[in-house]
Amino acid sequence: MCYPIIISNKELYEKAQQSTIREELGRGENGIVELIEVDDRLVCLKRAKDGVTPLFHEQNILIGLNGAGGAPLVLYQCKDYPAYVMTFTRGVDMVEFVQHCTPDEFVRCLIALFKSLDEIHRSGYIHGDIKPDNMFVEENENGDIEVHVIDFGLSLKIGTPQFKHAALN
């Protein structure tokens, strides 16, 4: 199990100041994700768009998944500000991949997607927002296609009251 390092807002701010912001990767309803370089490593900084909205739900889901389904690993958690640093998921989004792949690659991609979702479900979670924007496809060093599922903000832990309520609706 990979446990994140818990740091203060000041420590996170200092890490961000020492890093190079490469680009903004995306904006969601609650957060902004930026590609940054920390300690010569590309990572993602996710922070609340308004500086207030808690991101603890998604952080805890990612910690529980521990990389299952190609999910990012949380490297640093900020204890007093809604932000965290996670591994950078490489690859191209599902739409771009499908537009340029062969029929064989498409089938291999679907199989990889099903494996990723199976890993997530076996880890005890339901994603809740599966769509092409939340999947990145890459070919690993062995030539196998891998699908990384991202953005776990709407995910639920199987068996919790929230999951049971969602299942009934």
In a domain, 17, yes or no: yes
**Phi, psi (deg, nearest 5) at residue 97:** -60, -50
Q: Are residues 58 and 106 in the same domain?
A: no
3-state helix, strand, coil in the chain (%, to 5): 35, 30, 35
C-alpha distances (whole Å) from 167 to each of 15, 38, 156 are 41, 40, 10
Q: What's the pLDDT band for 13 if we cut at 50, 70, 90?
A: low
pLDDT at 117: 97
> For the chain, what is the domain count?
2
Distance CA 9, CA 102 (A): 46
Q: Are residues 82 and 116 in the same domain?
A: no
In a domain, 169, yes or no: no
Final residue of a domain: which of 70, 87, 104? 87
**Hey, which residues does 158 pair with through a beta bridge?**
none
Distance CA 152, CA 134 (A): 9
Mean pLDDT for the stretch of residues 18-42: 82
Q: Are residues 11 and 80 in the same domain?
A: yes
Residue 148 has pLDDT above 90, yes or no: yes
Q: What is the CATH number of the domain that holds 124?
A: 1.10.510.10
Final residue of a domain: which of 44, 60, 87? 87
Distance CA 167, CA 158 (A): 10
Final residue of a domain: which of 63, 87, 111? 87
In a domain, 101, yes or no: yes
Check residues 125 and 169 and name the one with the higher pLDDT: 125
Range of the domain at 40: 5-87
Helix ranges restricted to H, the chain = 9-18, 56-65, 94-100, 103-122, 161-168
pTM for the model stands at 0.83
CB 137 within 8 A of CB 145: yes
In a domain, 134, yes or no: yes
Check residues 17 and 3 and name the one with the higher pLDDT: 17
Render pLDDT for 80-135 as a digit per residue (tens, 0 to 9). Answer: 778 888 999 888 999 999 999 999 999 999 999 999 999 999 999 999 999 999 99
Q: Are residues 100 and 80 in the same domain?
A: no
pLDDT at 166: 62
Mean pLDDT for the stretch of residues 17-37: 82
Residue 64, amino acid: G
Q: Are residues 54 and 31 in the same domain?
A: yes
Residue 2 has pLDDT above 60, yes or no: no
